[in-house]
Structure 1
Amino acid sequence: MVLDSRNLIVGSSASMSSVFSNGYPPHLASYAVDNITDCIYTNVAATQREENPWLRIDLGMMFDVQHVLVYARPDGFEPGRTHNLLTTVSNDEQNHTCGFYPGPTDLGDRIAVICNNLTRGRYVTLTIQSNSGKKDILQVCEIKVFGKP
């Protein structure tokens, strides 16, 4: 794991609650951490339509997470899907809320979630808090996590 001069945590991996494909190339979780912020349709991370879809980034070790930057899709395909987005930081024993974004996003928006000083963990998870009985798709272009070891 390495930090660049702006405290960007790089070299992380990601997983999701499901992977959207439906006859298209799979929209893998790894696209959320591939360092491409100007996505096209084929390199967007997206879940299937489900209740409370989530995407989890494994930072590889414990960090004091300072903020999380989420890049929305810029390509014009169904803007507004990112809403009611809860961002948490956790390890195997503790779960900390970093922030909540009510949304919805517009094309190419960037969501900055600022964490408090006590937000330490190995995993950063983004979850859409679905309304009762509603299914959502979590789709992001890129997620950048900033912090210190």
Structure 2
Amino acid sequence: MSPIWPLVVLTCSSCFDLILGSHELTNVAYSKSVTLSSALDNCPGSKAVNGLFGDYAHTHMEKSPWLRIDLAARYRIHEIEIFARNDGHGHQLHDFDVKVGEEKYDMHLCGHFTGTAYNGQRIAIWCPHNTVGRYVQVQIVSGSKNWMTPAEILVWGVHVY
């Protein structure tokens, strides 16, 4: 029989903090640096980690667009939540890989979403046990040309010293 861990949700300035057992998980992506494979002028990557669900980051239409968050330190990553736009364009988020790595060019698959998101959908990707990294990348992996337009990305983790 598996142990049951208490789960408590508290509101805070970085969306939410989660307490799972004795480890406090925080949204470690909040206000961090974001790079897009390409970007529209009024929709920079920073809009994907600003705590607001009504705006969004937006790439140009291209083959396999991606978004990479630099967490600026090493974290044990527990879960990554990706939220689709809620303005009639949620379908632009589809068929993507989520990767985590300590180096931006050496990333490991954390999870995959298959299908098309609906407006405002929350997509939870649970990383394998003891996934550690500084970078988180979300990349559309299907279709000839796509936009990457997430409303918000939350990365739940614990700082690793």
TM-score range, shorter chain: 0.7 to 0.9
Match of 2:77 in 1: 65
Q: Which residue of 2 aligns with 1:19?
A: 39
* 1:143 corresponds to which of 115, 131, 153: 153
TM-score (normalised: structure 2): 0.79
List alignment gaps of at least 5 residues for structure 1: none
Mapped partners of 1:48, 1:94: distance in 2: 25
1:81 and 2:101 aligned: no
* Larger gyration radius, structure 1 or structure 2: 2
Q: Is 1:36 aligned with 2:52?
A: yes
**For residues 46 and 5 of structure 1, what CA distance do their matches in structure 2 show?**
27
Structure 1 stretches of 4+ moved >6 Å: none
Q: CA deviation at 1:91?
A: 1.5
Contact 2:32 2:46 in 1 (8 A): no
Between Structure 1 and Structure 2, the one with more strand by share is 2
Kept in 1, the 8 Å contact 2:90–2:121? The answer is: no
Matched position secondary structure for 2:129: coil
Alignment of 1:68-147 (within 5 A): 68-76=80-88, 78-92=89-103, 94-131=106-143, 134-147=144-157
Equivalent pair of 2:96/2:142 in contact (CA under 8 Å) = no
C-alpha RMSD of matched pairs (Å): 1.7
d(CA) in 1 for partners of 2:64, 2:121: 21
Contact 1:53 1:138 in 2 (8 A): yes
> Under a length normalisation based on structure 1, what TM-score does the superposition of the two structures give?
0.85
Displacement of 1:66 in angstroms is 0.5
8 Å contact 2:61–2:145 — kept in the other structure?
Answer: yes
Count of aligned residue pairs for this structure pair: 136
Aligned residues of 2:65 and 2:146 also touching (Cα < 8 A)? yes
User: d(CA) in 1 for partners of 2:17 and 2:115?
Assistant: 30
* Aligned 8 A contact 2:48 2:57 in 1: yes
Secondary structure at the counterpart of residue 90 of structure 1: strand
